[in-house]
Chain A
Amino acid sequence: MPFDVQKVRADFPNLRQQVHGKPLVYLDNAATTHKPQSVINAVSNFYSKYNANVHRALYQQAAEATEAYEAVRDKVAQLINAPDRRSIVFTSGTTESINLLAYAWGRHNLRPGDEILVTEMEHHSNLIPWQLAARDTGATLRYIPIRDDGTLDLENPEQYFTDKTKLVAFTHQSNVFGAINPARQIIELAHAVGAITVVDAAQSVPHMAVDVVELDCDFLAFSGHKMLGPTGVGVLYGKPELLEQMSPFFGGGEMIRTVTMEKSTWAEIPWKFEAGTPKIAQVIGLGAAINYLNQLSYKTIGQYEQELTDYTLASLKDLDGLTIHGNPQQRGPVISFNVDAVHPHDLAQFLDEEGVAIRAGHHCAQPLMQRLGVPATSRVSIYLYNTKAEIDIFIESITNTIRFMTG
């Protein structure tokens, strides 16, 4: 079936909104995506038709809610090809998933002298938890550097992957350059020195098929709201044997087996890591988002986004005084750039007046901004509902802004 973007757009109510009297041109999808009506309905139906807590009560609606909630676990497992549904832990998002690991794995396994390896292109969510873990355990944080084209410099891996390396945490796709990192290679290098691996897949799972068996990653994290789902829900995938060895992160209801005044025993995985009432509505909404992606297929989405990304890159390259940061061959639909004459914040403000939403700032990647030698960049990030006509409006708005700002 050919991809019909107008048909897709009709499913997204927020894309019909106007901003400053102009149609919204939403190009900040790396931050969050809009939701199709089916996701909004799934959340709304839960609250209006079978609202109940899960895993507890014996009444009919509670059973329905539990069934709907647990069905999404299977759906997520299938999406990333996890062989065991017990590998799927629901969290509040990528940030919580990684913090869970930094506490429940990091604080128990890292010792002084150990090394945690990350990359220079990490989002703060895959950096700060490891900085804190290093501070608390006496481990050292090291960085795989990046090349000027925005890709990782893996030329001399023995410099970074050593017998001291205990954990390697890296982004699958950069939220600044869009570079897709060679995850399989990094994981092999890590495993060769006995390190465990954490993949920040917040920017990859929304756009491409991610297969945890093929990657052989130990852990993988992503967020629902960047892939058409609700905010407040994310996933931590972990190999079952590793999740079983780990202590709980949060304590509370749901995650226990027996509790006495003195001590407690823990529920089986994954529930050991889901303390308290879970994000029931959000998980159910995430299920609807996965249905939507499956129905379009990653292959179709990927082809369409690639075409639109190439079109955007070509259009941006035609503009005078514009620098695109990084030029990775393997890339997702994210492009960072600077305009000589116009600061990113001024540009974003002028684009907003035209209804065009882009991001200006450090993109939660301050070490990377220091590496690039810029205080901030402008970033455009595309998703399956964007169109060439929108890219044309975006480019025209940049041109007009440059003309105005340079007199």
Chain B
Amino acid sequence: MDKLRELYQSMILDHSQHPHNYKVLAGANLTADGHNPLCGDQITIYIKVENDLIKEISFQGQGCAISKASTSIMTTILKGKTVNEAQAIFIKFQHMIKSGEYDIEEMGKLAVLAGVHKYPVRVKCAILPWHTAVNSLKSTDQSEVFSTE
């Protein structure tokens, strides 16, 4: 129980109960749906991207505390980043979630999710928003739904 309580520490609970940037984004020029069919988790991410720069990002949807917190933290990190920077952070984040290894300088507040690696079933919960956002930034087909499966 202690390890799990450690993971669901105040920051994750706070982000899941009071998510940041939880709204439909007026002026978004990119909307991406992410779906985890095994859990039923569903998120929509709204991005305003100009000249490869993420000017604004927000989300709405349903999911567990891990996926909600991960999405909320992601929106605070990605604002102001270029598409390539977002991609680079995603790769490092994915590595951290799967292995538990990370560089605190690089991960910053994303590090609160490192403990997810101990719960393999939940890895998809943490990664879904990143998968959805980053792939939609790279994709040309805007009607695509990103799925964990």
Contacts and interface: CB of A to CB of B under 8 A. Distances in A.
Interface of A: 20, 342-346, 349-350, 353-354, 360-362, 366, 369, 375-376, 404-405, 407
B27 interface: no
B65 A343 contact: yes
B100 interface: no
Contact of B4 (A349, A362, A376): A349
Given A375-B62, A405-B8, A353 B1 contact: yes
Contacts of B1: 20, 350, 353-354
Given A353-B1, A361-B38, A375-B41, A345 B125 contact: yes
Nearest to A407: B13
Contacts of B5: 404
Contact of B39 (A345, A354, A405): A345
A361 B4 contact: no
Task: In the A-B complex, list the 8 residue pairs whose CB atoms are closest, starting with the nearest.
Answer: A375-B40, A343-B64, A345-B64, A376-B40, A353-B1, A346-B65, A375-B62, A346-B64
Nearest to B35: A375
B41 A404 contact: no
Contacts of B62: 375
A361 B4 CA distance: 20
B122 interface: yes
A353 B39 contact: no
Most chain B CB atoms below 10 A, which of A345, A353, A362, A375:
A345
Contacts of B38: 361
Interface of B is mostly: mixed
A349 B63 contact: no
A345 B5 CA distance: 15
B132 to A, nearest CB: 16
A123 to B, nearest CB: 15
Nearest to A354: B1
Contact of A362 (B10, B40, B65, B119): B40
B42 interface: yes
Contacts of A366: 40
B66 interface: yes
B40 A349 contact: no
Contact of A350 (B4, B40, B41, B42): B4
Interface in B96-140: 119, 122, 125
Nearest to A405: B13
25 contacts: A343-B65, A344-B64, A345-B39, A345-B66, A345-B125, A346-B8, A346-B64, A349-B4, A349-B119, A349-B122, A353-B1, A353-B4, A354-B1, A360-B39, A361-B38, A361-B39, A361-B40, A369-B40, A375-B62, A375-B63, A376-B40, A404-B8, A405-B8, A405-B65, A407-B13
Interface string B22-66: 000000000000000011111000000000000000000011111
A353 B8 CA distance: 13
A345 B122 contact: yes
A146 B1 CA distance: 39
Interface in B1-23: 1, 4-5, 8, 10, 13
Contacts of B40: 361-362, 366, 369, 375-376
Contacts of B10: 407
Contacts of B64: 343-346
A339 to B, nearest CB: 12
Contact of A375 (B4, B13, B42, B66): B42
Most chain A CB atoms below 10 A, which of B40, B66, B122:
B40
A349 to B, nearest CB: 7
A365 to B, nearest CB: 11
Given A342-B65, A353-B1, 8 more contacts: A344-B64, A345-B39, A345-B125, A349-B4, A354-B1, A361-B39, A375-B63, A376-B39
A212 B109 CA distance: 61
Contacts of B66: 345-346
Contacts of B42: 375
Nearest to A369: B40
A353 B122 CA distance: 14
A378 to B, nearest CB: 12
Nearest to A375: B40
A52 B110 CA distance: 58
A354 B2 CA distance: 11
Contacts of A345: 39, 64, 66, 122, 125
A360 B64 CA distance: 11
B39 A375 contact: yes
A130 to B, nearest CB: 20
Nearest to B5: A404
Nearest to A343: B64
A21 to B, nearest CB: 10
A137 B119 CA distance: 44
